[in-house]
Amino acid sequence: MRLVSDPVAETIRRYDEFAEEYADRWLNPAAMAEQRDFFMSNLPGSRVLDAGCGPGRDAKFFTAMGCAVTGIDLSSAFLDIAQSLVPRVSFARMDMCHTAFANDSFHGVWACASLMHIPHGQGLSTMKELVRVLLPGGSLYVSVKEGEGRGFDERGIFYAYYHLEEMARLAEASGLEVLRLKEVPSHTGHAVFIDLFARRVG
């Protein structure tokens, strides 16, 4: 395994470098359509946090559905693309592990393919942070790559992989009621992801 002192910083540096190329591929509105619809069907209000928003595909959708969206990411290049895609949305450069939001700020938190870039040691505290900013009864979506262990891919992107049981344990330990937890093939068929839909209990 490659030794890197800060795998998240290294990952963000790489995302900044190929942000345009990533956006060309992933701004396809068909990607994640089923997941967005299921999330919307469980959303008890309009305030949504898109945590690790990337170039803004889902922020654009939720805004079009009438939600008041806040998008956060650590990649400035992605934030620039997202801001020009959806000027109405408030985007900020912020770490989803420690956000600046007050408790109970959002009716929904959407974290699509972002928690998987955070080392396992910070997985639970990051889930708890996402739950902290969620209103009781609020809706959470988290997706990660299915697999064993951790490591960098050929592009220099760090992944912490998860199994279903680990995601179930994270959800329970974070005070969540699971609505749906399952493995799904990625939009392009290149990987298997785990989708977790949950509700904040207390």
Ligand X SMILES: C[S@@+](CC[C@H](N)C(=O)[O-])C[C@H]1O[C@@H](n2cnc3c(N)ncnc32)[C@H](O)[C@@H]1O
Instruction: Report the interface residues with ligand X, using CB under 6 A.
Output: 8, 12, 15, 26, 52-54, 57, 72-75, 78, 95-97, 112-114, 117-118
Helix (H, G, I), strand (E, B) or coil at 139: strand
Q: Taking the chain, what is the end-to-end CA distance rounded to the nearest angstrom?
A: 40
Contact 90, 67 (CB under 8 A): no
Nearest CB to ligand X, comparing residues 113 and 196: 113
The least distance separating ligand X from the CB of residue 11, rounded to whole angstroms, comes to 6
Contact 173, 124 (CB under 8 A): yes
Nearest CB to ligand X, comparing residues 128 and 137: 128
The least distance separating ligand X from the CB of residue 65, rounded to whole angstroms, comes to 17
Nearest CB to ligand X, comparing residues 93 and 177: 93
The least distance separating ligand X from the CB of residue 165, rounded to whole angstroms, comes to 23
Nearest CB to ligand X, comparing residues 79 and 171: 79
Q: What angle do CA 171, 202, 106 make, to 5 degrees?
A: 80
Contact 128, 174 (CB under 8 A): yes
- The amino acid at 17: E
The least distance separating ligand X from the CB of residue 54, rounded to whole angstroms, comes to 3
Q: Which residues pair with 109 in a beta bridge?
A: 49, 140
Nearest CB to ligand X, comparing residues 53 and 196: 53
Please give the residue whose beta carbon sits closest to ligand X in the complex: 54
The least distance separating ligand X from the CB of residue 202, rounded to whole angstroms, comes to 25
The least distance separating ligand X from the CB of residue 117, rounded to whole angstroms, comes to 4
- Using CA atoms, how far residue 175 sits from 17, 32, 48, 106, 138, in Å, is 37, 25, 19, 16, 12
> How distant is the alpha carbon of residue 71 from its chain centre?
10
Nearest CB to ligand X, comparing residues 28 and 41: 28
Which residue has 């470098």 as its token pair? 17
